[in-house]
């Protein structure tokens, strides 16, 4: 059942200031943007798209809380990460804390990319979630638009999953690097035995 905006805002208020509610995290992914990247999956998405790759990300209940400082430390601790990608869930519902993460990792020389179910136009409008304009200012790449099953591309060489989505490359230095291995699936196995499967047709488990 879809959430009302009030339900959604009340659940977002349960996240302590300076923290993020995340669904998962991996280092050195090569299928979520250019180079090797830390990937942060944010918890919570109100869209409930048919055939969403990560339906477990829909709930806005608290899953894993992590402070901005701890997350930045994790990202920078792995020297192979050349960038960070925010995925979801819907990253822009947590734009205030993500802006702080983006600011700190960019200062350390990493590039920042985000997926979103919103359109860029909506994020640039007065109706955007709080701090969206600030987060956009720190992004090198934005992939916008919710997944629409009837517009699915089903091409492993495509950088987007459905034809309504768009790659916005704000950083000219990355123009010739928009060729990540979107036709591959990665399986990340963590020390505690948990695993994350990500990439083309992959899902976060
Ligand atoms: S916007 Fe993305 S995360 Fe949200 S329901 Fe749609 S496909 Fe899933």
Q: Report long-range pairs for 170-173 (Cβ below 8 Å, ≥24 apart).
A: 170/139, 170/140, 170/141, 170/142, 171/111, 171/140, 171/141
Amino acid 92: pLDDT = 98
End-to-end CA distance of the chain: 22
Ligand 1 centroid – CA 54 distance (Å): 7
Q: What is the pLDDT of residues 165-190, one digit of tens each?
A: 999 999 999 989 987 765 567 888 87
Contact 120, 145 (CB under 8 A): no
Q: What is the pLDDT of residues 14-68, one digit of tens each?
A: 999 999 999 999 999 998 999 999 999 999 999 999 989 889 999 999 999 999 9
Ligand 1 centroid – CA 79 distance (Å): 30
Residue closest to 118 by CA, chosen among 154, 166, 153: 166
Amino acid 182: pLDDT = 55
Q: Given the CA of residue 88, which atom of ligand 1 is nearest to it?
A: 3
Q: Which residues pair with 84 in a beta bridge?
A: 38, 112
Ligand 1 centroid – CA 102 distance (Å): 22
- Which residues have any ligand 1 atom within 6 Å of their CB? 45, 47-49, 52, 54, 57, 88-90, 117, 146-147
């Amino acid at each position: 059942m879809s959430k009302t905006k009030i339900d959604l805002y009340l659940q977002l208020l349960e996240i302590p200031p300076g923290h993020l509610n995340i669904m998962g995290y991996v280092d050195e992914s090569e299928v979520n943007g250019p180079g090797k990247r830390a990937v942060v999956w944010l918890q919570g998405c109100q869209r409930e798209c048919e055939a969403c790759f990560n339906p477990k990300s829909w709930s806005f209940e608290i899953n894993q809380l992590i402070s901005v400082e701890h997350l930045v430390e994790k990202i920078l601790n792995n020297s192979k990460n050349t960038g960070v990608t925010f995925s979801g869930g819907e990253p822009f519902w947590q734009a205030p804390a993500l802006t702080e993460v983006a600011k700190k990792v960019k200062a350390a020389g990493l590039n920042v990319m985000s997926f979103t179910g919103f359109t860029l136009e909506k994020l640039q409008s007065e109706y955007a979630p709080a701090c969206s304009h600030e987060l956009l200012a720190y992004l090198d790449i934005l992939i916008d638009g919710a997944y629409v099953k009837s517009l699915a591309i089903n091409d492993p060489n495509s950088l987007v999953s459905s034809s309504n989505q768009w790659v916005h490359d704000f950083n000219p230095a990355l123009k010739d690097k928009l060729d990540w291995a979107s036709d591959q699936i990665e399986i990340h196995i963590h020390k505690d035995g948990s695993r994350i499967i990500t990439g083309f047709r992959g899902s976060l488990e």
